[in-house]
Structure 1
Amino acid sequence: MHPRARRWFAQHTTAAGDWPVQRLRAAKGLTVVSVVLPALNEEHTIGTIVEGLVKLAERTSLVDEIVVMDSGSTDRTAEVARQAGASVFHRDDVLADYGSRPGKGEVLWKSLYVTHGDVLVFVDADLLDFGEHYVTGLLGPLLTDPETLLVKAFYDRPLLDVSVTGGGRVTELMARPLLCTFFPELAGVAQPLAGEYAARRDLLEKLPFAPGYGVETGLLVDTLRTHGLDAIAQVDLGERTHGHQDTAALGRMAASILATVATRVVPEHPLWPALTQFQREDGELRAVDSVVSSEERQPIVELPEYRYRTRTLD
């Protein structure tokens, strides 16, 4: 491990249990906390997660706002989330003049426009075992250390009967090798693709948002490049259980992450905008192309609509 990464790991890694509610309430002060759930067809899990967040907010006052960003669901995700107590926004209705793109990066970027928090906590909507520590753990370093700007989660991910502490398949086969090669200071980040993380608005509004599943990698690398390694922390959340995607879907995810890193390492090099995969139909092999976009959303603070909205809220 890179020497700086080793030092960082020792100094900036904590566990959810290190951050009791009483300590966080004392540290929160006037800080406004928004929890954001990006969601696409998650009607079976979204309600339980939102209900848990509502209970946390009522019991501790650590959460001020719960927002679900609907990425184009065709099921009852929006309805279930709204009934459970969340504010729900469809990606097509937010900043509509700028168009609407598919993928996770889009709804996270647009969430900055519809939320009010000084701190944003992102939680994936496919969790099968959500607990309050997903939020309290991530809030800990941000509420107690003003120098911390971004907090990443890590956890065990049971896959079949194997506990994968390091990360999922895309992490181990794509993200980690890329980061260790080009940004070795980040070698201590246990799960760079974790969908659970928290950050200060002051950071997020000034960073570009990569499309699709490249968004986590982009935010992590850009935080390193703009504010240094010590602006990042990570928290052990224990265990995370969620659904798993097929190999072809993971390939598309890996291609998005590769494009995100490539635009930062060799920005002048043109990227081919498609991934070719193969499937067999009626005994014949057929090539299937998927779009791999490298077009990123600009820092949202550059939008006049956002600056006006921020001044109005102030």
Structure 2
Amino acid sequence: MLDEVAGWLRRRSWTAERRPLSQLLAAKRAAGPHGTVSVVLPALDEEATVGAIVTEIRRALMSDAPGAVPLVDELVVLDSGSTDGTAAVAAEAGATVVHRDAILPRLPAVPGKGEVLWRSLLATRGEIVCFIDADLREFDARFVSGIVGPLLTEPDVQLVKAMYDRPLEAGGTVEPTGGGRVTELVARPLLNLHWPQLAGFVQPLGGEYAARRSLLERLPFPVGYGVELGLLIDALNAVGLDALAQVDVGVRHHRHQDGQALGRMAATIYRTAQTRLARGHLVRPVLTQFERTAEGFAPRVHEVTTEERPPMMTVPEYVRGREVA
């Protein structure tokens, strides 16, 4: 297995600089309709960062911006219920803003990142779909071009994850590594133990990845924070290791969660893995955490969500929309 992972790393790991924009644009033109690119930013109360991300993508990668390479065909911010100015800031910066609840209204939405990503397939038209988290700072457009590149130039590649350094920024200090705590403590051990073919992914939980629509529409989407792990495992099962790849895009700066939020994320990710190891044989669990109050430590119980949305190809509205298109 170690030899298989090492071979995959040589064949399917690249840097963003490996494919210049001129090469990507030529490949996009040659691909015709199959080279259309949609960028989706799932957003919940991200007014502080979403505008700069939209502005940079439009400046560098969209055809109506002066000097831009027209690599991206549509840029959609999927608002999952923000109470701040996220939607207004994103729209002012030039994104198409769609509210989660406006998509597939017959099916009430549930909270969670995966829910928004799943619904975004109904709100976009590109044959290549690129997801970018909306809380990134110091954003560089190569986060998009880097992970879209292999899908335009390598016909056998189906899904591409970004890899990067994740500094840990807290209390006014910056550690060059250490920002991926749930990755190192939960996701990486799970993958190495149970899906060792995926051990070569540097950032398996990263929110920046691109995939062919023809793959995404066949996969179930965990509705919560387990979505990245679930999609990666299910993509491996659907198309095999050599159809998966990763691209080094540099450094990722973003907001860090507190310890209890990380605990909830870790439990959800662990449960997502359990579901894939033994579907139908596990009890839906809860996570108890503690908060100090005037009376002492008080328990706070959180459900660990295991709900998933089915492959988009099973949703009639999606199928009808694709037939019309």
Query: What's the TM-score once normalised by structure 1's chain length?
Result: 0.97
- Structure 2 residue identity aligned to 1:53: I
- Structure 2 residue identity aligned to 1:153: A
Offset of residue 162 of structure 1: 2.0
* SS at structure 2 position matched to 1:96: coil
Q: Which residue of 2 aligns with 1:163?
A: 176
Q: Which residue of 2 aligns with 1:99?
A: 108
Within 2, Cα distance between the matches of 1:164 and 1:274? 31
Q: Which runs of 5+ in 1 are unaligned?
A: none
Q: Which residue of 2 aligns with 1:70?
A: 79
- Structure 1 residue identity aligned to 2:121: L
Q: Percent identity?
A: 53
* SS at structure 2 position matched to 1:308: helix
Output one character per residue of 1:173-210: Cα deviation in whole Å (capped at 9) or x when no partner. 00000011100010000110011000000000000001
Offset of residue 25 of structure 1: 0.4
Q: Which residue of 2 aligns with 1:27?
A: 27
**Number of residues paired by the alignment?**
312
- Structure 1 residue identity aligned to 2:42: P
1:188 to 185, 200, 219: 200
Q: Which residue of 2 aligns with 1:233?
A: 245
Q: Which residue of 2 aligns with 1:45?
A: 49
Within 2, Cα distance between the matches of 1:133 and 1:295? 33
Output one character per residue of 1:229-258: Cα deviation in whole Å (capped at 9) or x when no partner. 001000001111111010000011111111
| Aligned-residue RMSD, C-alpha | 1.1
Within 1, Cα distance between the matches of 2:284 and 2:39? 35
Q: Which runs of 5+ in 2 are unaligned?
A: none
5 Å matches for 1:1-314?
A: 2-29=2-29, 30=32, 31-55=35-59, 56-58=61-63, 59-160=68-169, 161-164=174-177, 168-313=180-325
* SS at structure 2 position matched to 1:117: coil
- Structure 2 residue identity aligned to 1:27: A
| 8 Å contact from structure 1 (residues 8, 230) kept in 2 | yes
- Structure 1 residue identity aligned to 2:269: I
* SS at structure 1 position matched to 2:281: coil
| 8 Å contact from structure 2 (residues 167, 176) kept in 1 | yes
Within 1, Cα distance between the matches of 2:103 and 2:194? 35
Query: What's the TM-score once normalised by structure 2's chain length?
Result: 0.94
- Structure 2 residue identity aligned to 1:230: D
Output one character per residue of 1:141-193: Cα deviation in whole Å (capped at 9) or x when no partner. 1000111000000101111432228x600000000000111000100001100
* SS at structure 2 position matched to 1:43: coil
Offset of residue 284 of structure 1: 0.9
Offset of residue 86 of structure 1: 0.7
Moved more, 3-12 or 112-121: 3-12
| 8 Å contact from structure 2 (residues 162, 247) kept in 1 | yes
Offset of residue 286 of structure 1: 0.7
Offset of residue 283 of structure 1: 4.4
Within 2, Cα distance between the matches of 1:103 and 1:252? 12
Within 2, Cα distance between the matches of 1:71 and 1:273? 25
| 8 Å contact from structure 1 (residues 259, 271) kept in 2 | no
* SS at structure 2 position matched to 1:38: strand
- Structure 2 residue identity aligned to 1:162: E
Within 2, Cα distance between the matches of 1:135 and 1:19? 12
Output one character per residue of 1:53-107: Cα deviation in whole Å (capped at 9) or x when no partner. 1112131110000000111111000111011111111111110111101010000
| 8 Å contact from structure 2 (residues 284, 306) kept in 1 | no
Within 1, Cα distance between the matches of 2:283 and 2:207? 26
* SS at structure 2 position matched to 1:108: helix
| 8 Å contact from structure 1 (residues 214, 257) kept in 2 | yes
